[in-house]
Amino acid sequence: MIQVTVLAISDLTIQHRKTMIVQNIEMSVDEGDWFALVGESGSGKSVTAAAIGGLLPRELKAASGSILLDGKNLVNLKERELRKYRGTVISYIFQDYQGAFTPFMKIGAQLDEMLRTHTNHSKKERKERALHSLKLVELPEERVYNSYSFQLSGGQLQRAAIAMAMILEPKLLIADEPTTALDSMTAANILQLMADLKEKAGCAVFFITHDLRHVRKYANKVAIMRNGVIVESGMKSNVFHQPKHEYTKALFEAIPSLRKTSARLSSHL
Amino acid sequence: MRVVGQEILTVKNLSKEYVCGHKAVDQVSLTVNKGECLGIVGESGSGKSTLARCLLALEKIDEGEILLKEKSLYNANKKSLHPVRSEIQAVFQNPSASLNPKLKIIDSLMEPLDFQRKIQPSFLMDIRNQRTKMAERLFEMVGLPSKYLSYYPHELSGGQKQRVIIARAISIEPALIILDEPTASLDVSIQAKILNLLKDLQEDLGISYLFISHDLAAVNFMSQRIIVMKQGQIVDQCSKHDLFSDRRHPYTKDLLHVFEA
């Protein structure tokens, strides 16, 4: 089977004035991949994710390198051009699921707005498609369609955010710490849902986290980032079984283990 | 030396229903012994934080009994709570919300000692009247450089702020500290450091902990006994060594499965 590359980042450097935030990073995500970018606060992982969709804050600039999405370079593309990609080819979900919806409109109306902007569907088709997308994320579709965001729980809202992100069948779903604000059971369910949707839709997932535990089950490729540099990357099985970099090893050791309990956690980071 | 067996906190049949009719805590009974860490694990909405708020007398309870060092907290009024308040402290998830942004760190840190003049913590006895010296010693205990004392909260990282909160919680040498998701907003490496610090302090000072989290692995690391809550009720409890026993409640097994996946 020929692997189709969805996203190829090469030699990307992002600067804030003279300070390097992200330095010469390389990564490539193929169709069907679950690519995990792992790092701590301040490592540059969210900045990298923002750069892909052209969501960098004004003070940050891509100083060099390229971000190829489906072969088209997105670096320094005009906002008007970028808008055609966001939502349709790339979509995002974030840690802050409350920020995904405005509290002033019902969820259904916000899904409808997205479809109205990007498709030529009739009103009836749009409603059908919106309901279908909510059903795919295992929500009670009629009720959620008619609800405001504050009427849903955290886990339900994140599901609705995933429904909105997936409704136009993007090629790349960027998930920036999607489960960090959720409890562990809900988080496990959300990750399973993302995995199922990925299989059905055949898209790629670009998954950002600081917790290696979330990477173990679903990712097939991993990159570990620290201080704006990728210190180690490769297939998950290699990185997990034979971590080469000291930092990767330290990240594993900092996580409390259920079976091997020690008096103190390793904290050589 | 730790005296094992002495009950610091006793909760009997505690229930709390919110006005909307939602029973957040339903007939919960538990005890925390001196020098022990009792872990409570559960999902969002399982009632673990409401339980914490009831124990801190921040919520009125509907039914049941709370005894802290044999003194009843049951819907006590503000004045009679005053002496009890110095026996119980709390560390919450969001350290930024626990520090007044307009106060220098030293002023937030020293508030309990400034206002409770009678309290003589064993580790501050020799310098009880020297405010800066006490602050410096507290900072030393939690591994912060004393230059941060004159900073404002926004100049500190999340992990540093959480250390300040921990220093403030231990400052009056309480019998019990309630730790409600103290590391949920921190990176894994910072979490490891904070959990280690909490363990060090517990061993040095003999304070009891009630450690509340949805992270079973962290609860297991910190606690000698573990309680599992679901929909306001205790569905399972065991000593740390029996966590993998076949007798565990199906829900506990589900939780274990999530963390071992």
State residue B201's pLDDT score.
Answer: 96
Q: How many domains does chain A have?
A: 1
Question: Is residue B251 over pLDDT 70?
Answer: yes
For residue B243 the two structure tokens come to: 């966590």
Q: What are the tens digits of pLDDT across the range B43-54?
A: 888 999 899 999
Per-residue pLDDT reduced to its tens digit, B153-210: 999 999 999 999 999 999 999 999 999 999 988 888 899 999 999 999 999 999 999 9
Q: Which CA distances in Å does B23 have to A4, A91, A186?
A: 53, 39, 21
Task: Give the pLDDT confidence score for residue B188 in this predicted structure.
Answer: 86
Minimum mean pLDDT range among A94-98, A257-261, B204-208: A257-261
- How far is the alpha carbon of B254 from chain A, nearest alpha carbon, in Å? 9
Q: Please say if the pLDDT value at position B90 is more than 90.
A: yes
A260: pLDDT strictly greater than 80: no
Cβ of B192 within 8 Å of Cβ of A182? The answer is no
Structural domain span for residue A63: 5-254
- Is residue A213 in some structural domain? yes
At residue B2 the predicted structure's pLDDT band, cuts being 50, 70 and 90, is very low
Which of A41, A259, A264 has its CB closest to that of B196? A264
Give the full edge-to-edge strand order of the sheet including B233-239. Answer: B88-91, B176-180, B208-213, B37-41, B225-230, B233-239
Residue B124 pLDDT: 95
CA distance B164 to B160: 6
d(CA B72, CA B146): 38
Residue numbers in B near A254 (CB within 8 A): 188-189, 191-192
Identify whether A269 is part of a domain.
Answer: no
Average pLDDT, chain B: 92
* Chain B: residues touching A (Cβ < 8 Å): 43-45, 158, 187-193, 195-196, 199, 214-218, 220-221, 240, 243-244, 254-256, 258-261
Say if the Cβ atoms of B195 and A154 lie within 8 Å. no
**From residue A182, how far is each of A264, B5, B13, B216 by CA, in Å?**
26, 36, 29, 14
Say whether pLDDT at B98 is over 50: yes
Answer yes or no: is A204 within a domain. yes
In chain A, the percentage of residues whose pLDDT exceeds 90 is 71
Nearest CA in chain B to A217: B261
Decide if A254 and B256 are in contact by the 8 Å CB cutoff.
Answer: no
> What pTM does this model have?
0.84
DSSP β-ladder status, B88-91 and B176-180: parallel
User: Which residue intervals of A202-260 are DSSP H helices?
Assistant: 213-216, 236-241, 246-254
What are the tens digits of pLDDT across the range B120-153? 999 999 999 999 999 999 999 999 999 999 999 9
Cβ–Cβ contact A183 with B under 8 A: yes
- What are A154-176's pLDDT values in tens digits? 889 999 999 999 999 999 999 99
Sheet with A34-38, strands from edge to edge, namely A90-94, A172-176, A204-209, A34-38, A221-226, A229-235
Is A266 a member of any domain? no
The pLDDT tens digits for A108-146 are 999 999 999 999 999 999 999 999 999 999 999 999 999
Q: What is the DSSP string of A112-179?
A: HHHHHHH----HHHHHHHHHHHHHHTT--HHHHHT-BGGGS-HHHHHHHHHHHHHTT--SEEEEESTT
- For A20, counting Cβ atoms within 10 Å of its Cβ (0-12 exposed, 13-18 middle, 19+ buried), the class is middle
Of A153, A184, A254, the CB nearest to B215: A184
Compute CA distances A193 → A18, A216, B76, B254, whole Å.
Answer: 41, 16, 47, 17
Angle formed at CA A246 by CA B143 and CA A176, multiple of 5 degrees: 80
DSSP-derived secondary structure letter, B228: E
**Shortest Cα–Cα distance, B113 to chain A (Å):** 30
In a domain, residue A262? The reply is no
Complex prediction ipTM = 0.74
pLDDT value for B234: 97
The answer to whether residue A267 is domain-embedded is no
Q: CB–CB of B240 and A257 under 8 A?
A: no
Question: Residue B102: pLDDT above 70?
Answer: yes
Q: Which domains does chain B have, with CATH numbers?
A: 1-87+178-190+209-261 (3.40.50.300), 98-173 (no CATH)
B189 vs A153, A155, A254: nearest CB: A254
All residues at 6 or more sequence positions from B247 whose CB lies less than 8 Å from its CB, including other chains: none
Mean pLDDT across chain A, nearest whole number? 92
What are the C-alpha distances in Å from A116 to residues A26, A128, A219, B142?
Answer: 36, 13, 33, 55
Quick check: is A192 in a domain?
yes
The verdict on residue A265 lying in a domain is no
**What is the residue whose two structure tokens read 């279908």?**
A132
Give the CATH number for residue A204: 3.40.50.300
Interface contact A153, partner B, CB < 8 A: yes
Residues of B in contact with A211 (CB under 8 A): 188
Please report, for residues B49, B52, B54, the alpha-carbon distance to residue B21 in angstroms, rounded to integers and kept in the order given.
17, 19, 17
Contact list in B for residue A157 (CB cut-off 8 A) is: none
Cβ distance B44 to A257 less than 8 Å, yes or no, reads: no
pLDDT for A98 equals: 87
